[in-house]
Every structure is written in C-alpha cells, then in structure tokens.
Structure 1
Amino acid sequence: MSIIDTHCDLLYKMFLDRKVQFAEGNGDADVSYTRLVKAGVVLQWFAIYLPDNPAYYSFDHVLTCIDLFRTRIAACPQVEFIKSRQDFDKLLKDKRKLGAMLTLEGVEGLAANMGNLRTAYDLGVRSIGITWNHANWAADGVGEPRQGGFTVRGKQFINECDRLGIILDVSHLSEKAFWELCEQSSRPFIASHSNAYRICPHVRNLKDDQIRAIIEKNGRIGITFVPAFVRAEHPQIKDLLLHIEHICSLGGENCVGFGSDFDGTDLKIPGLENPAHYCQLVDELHKRYTTEQAERFLSGNWKTYLLKNLPE
C-alpha cells in the first residue's frame, strides 16, 4: 500500500546542521530514504522552512535550501524529483523510485519579489504555504494578534502562483486570509498539515466551514501527527482517525490525506515517531475502513489531486 506525505522538515534540519544525511539518516532526523521506503512512501514533500528570525528572510537562504534539496536528496539515483504531472505519472507507473517534491513554508525569503517567486518555480518549488504562524509581507498567520488578511502585494502573489500553477497551502494562514484566498484563487488549494478544530481546538486546525470550503474547491487536507494538533492530552494513533472521521462526515472522504510534519517537532505520538512506523497507522485504518478507503487516505486522494493540479 503506497503512501504520499505532504509535509516534513528534514530540509530545516539539514539547513541547521549540514551533517544531517538523507540516504541512511542519523539519530537527529526522523526522515531518511531507508525509512520512507520501508514505510511504502511513494512521494514525500520536503518543505523549505527558514528559522523564525529576520536574519534569514532573504532569497539567498531559500536558494541555499533549494541547493540542499537538489544536491542531497533529489540527486540520489533512487529518487525522482517531481515537478510536473508527467513526472508524477511516470513515478506511479515505474514504481522503482521514491518521489520527492519541493515546497516552501512561509514566503518571507521571497522578499515580496515576484521574480524570486518565478525563480523558485523554475528551480522546482511546486507548493507554497504563504505564512508560518506570524505575519509577513503577503499575509497574516494564525498566530498574528491582529488576524489580518492579505496585503496588496500578497494578492498579486496569489495571482502569480495561479498563473504558474503553484499549489497554495493554507496551513498556518489566518482565518481572514483563508477566506480571501478562497475568494481570489481560481485553483483548488490545500492544507498540507492541519487537523480538524472540532476534534482538537488548536489554533492551527481547521474550522468546519474551512473544511467545507476546501472540499467545495476539491482541495486536500493532510492530517498531521503533531501531538498538540491531534488531542490536548496523551494523543494516540487511533485519535488521528477521529479527525479523518470528522472530515468525512462533512463530505470530505475524497479530500483526506496525510502530512506528518516529521522533523518539525520533537514531540511524537507513541508508536509514530518516524516514517518507518507508518505501518501502525495503516493497521488502525484497516480496523475502521475498507481497503479502498484506506488506500484513498494514504495516497489515492493526493494522486488524483496532483495528476490534475501539478503543472504540465
């Protein structure tokens, strides 16, 4: 059974510590080639996240992370760098390689420059989360006290991403900005690593009306394993299924996927500490859902989305 995971922060660890390896991994990182293959991951998204410090808000640092991805991950002979529908379709048919897709979490490093955005696209960035928790030049994040929406430049950014075919990601985005994106973007957007607020009322999780809007847009929601987003106290693997069940109850069975956020937090759900443990989640899915439903959640829903929304 194949898996698509839409968020991990291995690149962040590589950026902070150049000794962190992908091919075999080490004790400091959750994600490695060996663990992904053991889990049955067919496509892993790798996020460029820069430290939450203005000293890193430059395009040079974004380029450094892109170079780390291209030379330390995508250059591995057993890895396929996914940039188009054709790349992804070939990956699914070939089944001999691990797919790797490059994303950006927070646009601070683009420095409000659409030329930088286009360069990032040319170098392989295919999905962008507009903010982290705070405000930037484009929009407010969920942790910004004023809870504003998009700036004028931010709305230009939406239009340019739509033109290029970049997938926009609302995880970390403020509610007001979420609804402005919903109104302005002509393309189905995603939440790469967010859960259901009704099940766990964390500011990073999605309210029911937001979930319904993503469903109506035919976007996708990646259920994340960050413990605080799953359950307030002592979360277990089975608690992830409560979020899936709730999204399905709103009509989102075809919109559910997974975005683990491995390497993005030191706290773990017991039994789900790294990608090699995905099998435990697969077992729980099979206890409650049919094989067809489990396959849809693990990869099928993301497959149909990417075959339609990656650029030609």
Structure 2
Amino acid sequence: MSKLFFVDAHLDLSMNALEWNRDLREPVEEINRQEAGMTDKPDRAKATTTLPELRNGNIGLVVATQIGRVIEKNNNLPGSGWHSPEQAWAQTQGQLAWYRAMEEEGQMVMIRNKTELDEHLALWKNGKPNNSKPIGYILSLEGADSIVNISYVERAYNYGLRAIGPAHYGPGRYANGTDSSGRLNQMGIDLLKEMDRLDMILDATHLNDDAFWHALDIYKGNIWASHNNCRAFVDHNRQFSDDMIKALIERDAVIGIALDAWMMVPNWIRGSSTPQGMNCNMDIMINNIDRICQLAGNSDHAAVGSDLDGAFGTEQCPYDLKTIADLQKTPQLLKNRGYTDNDIEKIASGNWIRFMRKAL
C-alpha cells in the first residue's frame, strides 16, 4: 500500500513547546541533540514528535490539547499542576497563544467546522509534497480543571475549543479521573449540560469507571475516546473494560489507541522497564485495535490516539517506533492480521474523519 493519510487524535504539542521548551518546527534529531545530557524530564533526548515528523508520516490532522491541572496547595510535586483554576486557565491560554503563533507562520491550521475540515483534507490529498502543508488541528482540553466556571466553556468554544475530557489523573474539579473513584459532582453535571448545549465532543478518556458510566448516562451529544486502550491486556482503571468499549460502540464513538508502553504491557515499572525488555512493540497496538474491532463486529470504531508526546518518548513506547512517522508501519501490521485495505484506511483516518464530519 502507498503511504496512507493518518489522523492522530491525541498530541500534547503545546505542552511540549512550552513546558519542555521544544521548538517543534525542528527535526526530531535536532531536538534530541539539543537535549543530550539533560535529566530534568525522563524523555529528554528521546523525543518522537515534531511538525516535520508529522509531515514525514503523512499525519496531516491531529487532535491537539490544552492542559492545566489544579492540585491541592499542599501538593508541591514539580510539574503536577497549578494551585488555582485561574492559574491553570492562564496556562491553557499560553498554550493557545503558541498554536496561534504556529498558525500565523503557516505551520498549523485550526479546524473548527466541517467546511474547514473538508478544505484541509483536500489540501493534504492533492498529491503535492507535504513539506509546506500546515498540520490541521482540532483543539481539545485534557481535564476540565482550568475551566474557572461554567461561563468559561462558551468562551473557550468561541476561540475554537471543540472537545473536553472532564478528568485527567486523580480527583478533579469537575470529575474524578485515573486512579480515583466517584461519579461526577454537580459542577461536572453542569459542565456536560453546557457542552451539550454547544454541541461539543465529550472525551471519555481518563474518566474513572463511576464517572464514565455517569457521563454516558447524562451526555446526549457526540462522544469519543481520544487515547484509551483495552483493560483485557493491561488490567488497570486507566484502560477500558469490554463493557465500556461496547457502550462506546453503541454511541458510535471512535477509540484511539495510545502508544504509551505502560498502557500496552502489564507490570510496566516507570523508570525501570524498557520496551525491549518488556517486548513492547507495535503489534501490541494492533492487539488493542483488533479487540475493539472484534467487539464491534466491524472496523468502524478503532483508530489512533498515540499520545506519543505525553511526557514520554522512546524510553516508553514500542521499540520498533523511533518517531511518530513510524505510524506508517501500522497498515502492514494490520494487513498481516487479515485486515482489508478498506479496513486499514478507516483505522488510519477514515473513522476519525467520519466522526469529525458528524460532530463538527
């Protein structure tokens, strides 16, 4: 097969640009050269994702995040979050400013509606080289803590925000996420009602089991899971059980498979395990895609949400992936499992595009 067009539904581009101080216009090799010897973050000199690598991989459309957690004031762990929602909001606005700067230079373009989506896809499929094409992005908020109050939801929608995941890790202001428990609080219920009013996308990723079922019961609009794997392979609350996957399929959701090694192989120990030592390769990604397809009885609900720049790099992703452009290995791996060209195209981009055309 020729190089397929890919959509990646979860990248923390602005977080890397601002908090990691990475100029994402540069090649991966240059960023890793600059970071040689740095130890402040575990993925220094192990980056996989830049704008040139997205172009190299024919990944012309992404869901790009804003993120700003709020934590208790007595929690002083570095980088874990902000001590007020106003601070977290300011962080997300700095991230938005970076996306705007990339747009002004022609590096990226925000996608806010179906017309803009179709125009962007036509540009990327015109047969010309990708070198000067902007990376299209749909703006998503990972964790709603930075929404100071409900009136900020419409403010964010007006500047282009189209999807919100109410929770991230631990207890949140609106919902409880990974490694916590409990249903949505009243603020979370009001958040979902406002998102429904604005026809936004609910990202079910990171919701704990209680909040997941509560949210699905409340929310009437479009739901996706931008980056979430299967609990059948890694038995942890960060992953979805088969029943949760089936419920999402019933809502016509699409689930993006993430490439974070601890979500791919059981018993991963951060800072100790290695991809080679745990035999973590891209075939495990295919296992997760295949399970969703088997549960659905079709290939309409599985896709990619790599999270490849989510505070990890090659030290914690499949050993046969060196940069995000290696997503192009996915089609042959799927073909090896008996998937047809039509199935593969849907998993690479078609499922996300179908969903986006409906939701935008």
Taking the aligned partners of 1:61 and 1:138, their CA distance within structure 2 comes to: 18
Q: Which secondary structure state, in structure 2, belongs to the residue aligned with residue 99 of structure 1? A: strand
Q: Which secondary structure state, in structure 2, belongs to the residue aligned with residue 42 of structure 1? A: strand
Which residue pairs with 1:23 in the alignment? 25
Which residue pairs with 2:109 in the alignment? 80
Within-5 A mapping of 1:124-273:
124-144=160-180, 147-232=181-266, 233-251=278-296, 253-264=299-310, 265-266=312-313, 267-273=316-322
Which residue pairs with 2:92 in the alignment? 62
* 8 Å contact kept, 1:10–1:30: no
Which residue pairs with 1:53 in the alignment? 81
Q: Which secondary structure state, in structure 2, belongs to the residue aligned with residue 128 of structure 1? A: strand
Which moved further from structure 2: 79-88 or 47-56?
Answer: 47-56
1:274 maps to 2:310: no
1:26-74 CA-to-partner distances (Å, cap 9, x unmatched) read 2254321210011011201111123422336432112111111211x33
Matched to 1:88, the amino acid is L
Q: Which secondary structure state, in structure 1, belongs to the residue aligned with residue 202 of structure 2? A: strand
Query: Higher Cα Rg: structure 1 or 2?
Result: 2
1:291 maps to 2:341: yes
1:89 maps to 2:157: no
Task: Report the alpha carbon displacement of residue 200 of structure 1 after superposing the two structures with TM.
Answer: 2.2
Closer/same/farther in 2, CA of residues 201 and 76 from structure 1, 3 Å limit: farther
Quote the sequence identity (%). 26
Matched to 2:118, the amino acid is D
Residue segments in structure 2 that go unaligned for 5+ positions in a row: 33-44, 69-78, 125-132, 267-277
1:10 maps to 2:13: yes
Taking the aligned partners of 2:291 and 2:325, their CA distance within structure 1 comes to: 26
* 8 Å contact kept, 1:141–1:173: yes
Which residue pairs with 1:105 in the alignment? 142
Task: Report the alpha carbon displacement of residue 220 of structure 1 after superposing the two structures with TM.
Answer: 0.9
Task: Report the alpha carbon displacement of residue 257 of structure 1 after superposing the two structures with TM.
Answer: 0.8
Task: Report the alpha carbon displacement of residue 149 of structure 1 after superposing the two structures with TM.
Answer: 0.9
- RMSD, aligned CA: 1.6
Task: Report the alpha carbon displacement of residue 78 of structure 1 after superposing the two structures with TM.
Answer: 4.6
TM-score by length of 2: 0.81
Taking the aligned partners of 2:174 and 2:106, their CA distance within structure 1 comes to: 37
Task: Report the alpha carbon displacement of residue 242 of structure 1 after superposing the two structures with TM.
Answer: 1.1
Which residue pairs with 2:157 in the alignment? 121
Residue segments in structure 1 that go unaligned for 5+ positions in a row: none
* 8 Å contact kept, 1:74–1:100: no
